[in-house]
Copies of this chain bind each other. A is one copy, B any other.
Amino acid sequence: MKDLVSRCPIEEVMQVISGRWPSLLIYYLKQGTKRFSDLRRDNPTISHKMLTLELRKLEDAGIVERSEFEGYPLRVEYDLTPAGLKLVPLLDALGSWWDATAAGRSQGSTLPVEVTK
């Protein structure tokens, strides 16, 4: 994995929230504190490996906070940080944008736009 640190903040956010899982995990975490096994139940198709990797990434990005409690069975809780909470409406805005532009996209095939000079 290349830690290509770009000068562009948008590129950097994208490195974190890109992919299938981040938005889903944020979605479930905004419902409140979740444990590892909760998140696996919320999203049955993620593997435990992926879940740990993604959570670690979100943690490093300051979106998610991980709290480990002593004792056995080991208990770990995940929450959105204040920064993570502020991210939520931005993702929602993307979702709304997608819905709002659905009309232009709904009918699959390309319309014959022949722009001739």
Contacts and interface: CB of A to CB of B under 8 A. Distances in A.
Interface residues of A, number: 51
A116 B95 CA distance: 38
Given A69-B116, A69-B117, A115-B69, A12 B98 contact: yes
Contacts of A69: 115-117
Contacts of A93: 90, 93
Interface string A4-48: 000011111111011110111001000000000000000000000
A98 B65 CA distance: 17
Contacts of A113: 65, 67
Among A23, A68, A114, max chain B CB count under 10 A is at A23
